[in-house]
Amino acid sequence: MNVMIWGWGMPASLWYFSGSVLAYLNGVDLTEQILPYFNDTLQGAIFLIMQHFLSAAMNKGFELFEIFDIRERHGMNKMTIGLFAMDEVKNTGLLILLGLPGYWLFMFLIKIGGKVFYILILIFTICALVLYKYLNTNFIAPWFNKFEELPSKLPGLPGLREEI
């Protein structure tokens, strides 16, 4: 699927279309031959949101087949359609809540970094990964999953807990 997306030049077309959306939102007549330059950061944010929805639409059938057909056949599916839809809404919310500010900060560091912007990006990436690990462990994973404590005596493995 990704080969088709990149092979057909979809990111370049989507980037141009996000520029058209930005121009339309700024009141530009879209019948002009050349679109005016506005802001790479805003155009990139529109691009990321459109890319998210486009890839979600292209992969949704495969995800539904995997979850509700393959996993169902092997008895590993406890997900309902409602839970699946709610997870998709949560994913989109996380993209908007965490992804867009992270993207804005990334672009800001490139703009102010000058010749050493790559050092700022390296520091930003390390800090973002550490922050993501903390947020994922304490907030995001419990938001998506229900965690239960293991019982003190597991029926199939007696004494294993004490051995460990």
* pLDDT at site 130: 96
* pLDDT at site 24: 83
Q: Which two tokens stand for residue 54?
A: 């486009």
Position 161 confidence tier, pLDDT thresholds 50, 70, 90: low
35-60: per-residue pLDDT in tens?
A: 667 788 889 999 999 988 888 888 88
Helix (H) or strand (E) holding 104: helix 100-113
Residue with tokens 């995997």: 66
Residues 34/37/42/46 CA torsion (nearest 10 deg): 10
pTM reported for the whole predicted model: 0.71
Kindly state the percentage of the chain with pLDDT values over 90.
30
- Looking at residue 145, its amino acid is N
Q: Is the dihedral of CA 98, 100, 104, 109 positive or negative?
A: positive
67-89: per-residue pLDDT in tens?
A: 888 888 887 877 888 888 998 99
115-155: per-residue pLDDT in tens?
A: 999 999 999 999 999 999 999 988 888 888 777 776 666 56
Q: Which of 99, 108, 120 is nearest to 41 (CA)?
A: 108
Q: Which of 133, 132, 161 is nearest to 149 (CA)?
A: 161
Kindly state the percentage of the chain with pLDDT values over 70.
83
- 160 touches 149 (CB < 8 A): no
* pLDDT at site 127: 96
Whole-number Å distance between alpha carbons of 36 and 60 = 35
